[in-house]
Structures are given as C-alpha cells and as structure tokens.
Chain A
C-alpha cells in the first residue's frame, strides 16, 4: 500500500517570502501521479499542481512549483512571493495509474500561515 508523509504539521512564512512544504511517499510503482491540494479555512479543496512521475521536468503553476525527486520519492511544494490568501492546509496526494478509479492517498496535511 502507498503511504504519503508530510513531516511538517504546521509552518508559517512572512508575506512575500518563499516557503517549501515537504512530502515523501512510498510506492513500488514506476508510474504514478502526484498532486498538491490546498484547503483554505472555507473548507473547499482546490488543486494546486499536478506532476506525472514519468516526466522529469518539475511542474510549475505561477508562484507554485514542485521539486520532484523520483529516486528519493520526494515531492516538495515551493510557494514563491507568499500571499495572505495562501494561508491554508496543504495536502500532498499520490495516485496510482488505475483507469476509471483515480484512487488517491493523501498525506496528513501541512497548515501554512502567511503572516503580514
């Protein structure tokens, strides 16, 4: 079974600075998908970024980028120029490449607070 570990339960960062959230996973699969989701205090879970394991290039979405190290099974999220609206709980998720199922295993989450 896959496991996803987020070792930082809570983090804080000053507005406009950069912060990195860590995620490691354990799997015997060679191909899979990784995601970061954001859950603001309003509760709705929103996709931040998606990475395909067979792609070596790190995914980027505006201020959000990942450092994907397949051999180390590490998938960290970097948030640049942090904004107050980035305050949220961030979940790392692993998905096996199963058709029509999309089963994801989520980490326990990291609560990020952006301070003014």
Chain B
C-alpha cells in the first residue's frame, strides 16, 4: 500500500499553462507538506498544512496555491507556469507532534517547454 501518493509522476507542459498536482496520504497524519527539488537536488519547503490549516508558507510566488480539502489530501495548483518552475515536487506528511519525521511521496517531475 502506498503511504504518500502523488499524481501525476510526470508532467510536461508549456509555459503559461495552469496545472495541478495531487497528493494523498493514508498514514493518518495530520500535517502535509510540499517541497521543491531543483535540478541541483536542492530541497526547499514550500508549504505545510496541519488539519487543513496553512502553517508554513515560504517565499513562494502566488502563482502557487495549495489546497487541502481534508487532512489526507494536499493539492498544489500552479498558474501561468514558467521555465523556472521545472523541478521535482515532493509531497510529504507527518504526525503533527514535535520533531516528527516526514514521509515522502515519489515526487512529480514537472517539465516546462
């Protein structure tokens, strides 16, 4: 059983388009995250949600809008895609307590043409 699943795994699209990435976790966690990993493998947090509430919102363009319909889902919508958005996006989840490790999905490779 997949613990943290992201769809799609690959996304190839043109500049200016709008796209969404979905994430679901079946671990019973109440905190979920989105990370961006660039071509040099640098991993940076973008957002985190706890019980559907936004907790962390790093310096991310407002073209990126996360949505958490419930504790088990955290989707990422991106408007007006730019070349610099090309990266691997990871969803993760954890228990909301202090110092809990994160469980990651397989990542979504977004390529902008």
What is A's interface to B at a CB cutoff of 8 Å? 32-33, 35, 37, 39, 42-47, 50, 52, 89, 91, 95, 97-104, 106, 108-109
Are B43 and A102 interface neighbours, CB within 8 A? no
Question: In the complex, how many residues of chain B place their beta carbon closer than 8 angstroms to a beta carbon of chain A?
Answer: 30
Q: How far is the CA of A42 from the CA of B31 in the complex (A)?
A: 24
Write the residues of chain B forming the contact surface with A, with a CB cutoff of 8 angstroms: 30-31, 33, 40-45, 48, 50-51, 55-56, 88, 90, 92, 94, 96-107
B106 touches A44 (CB 8 A): yes
Q: Which of B30, B31, B33, B101 has the most CB of A within 10 A?
A: B101
User: Chain A contacts of B31 at CB under 8 A?
Assistant: 100-102
Closest 8 CB pairs of A and B: A33-B99, A45-B104, A100-B50, A100-B96, A106-B43, A47-B101, A101-B55, A43-B107
A40 to B111 Cα, complex, angstroms: 21
Instruction: Kindly provide the distance from the CB of B5 to the nearest chain A CB, expressed in whole angstroms.
Output: 11
Flag if A43 contacts B106 (CB, 8 Å): yes
Query: In the assembled complex, how far is the CB of residue A7 from the closest CB belonging to chain B, in whole angstroms?
Result: 15
Q: Nearest-CB distance from A100 to chain B (Å)?
A: 4
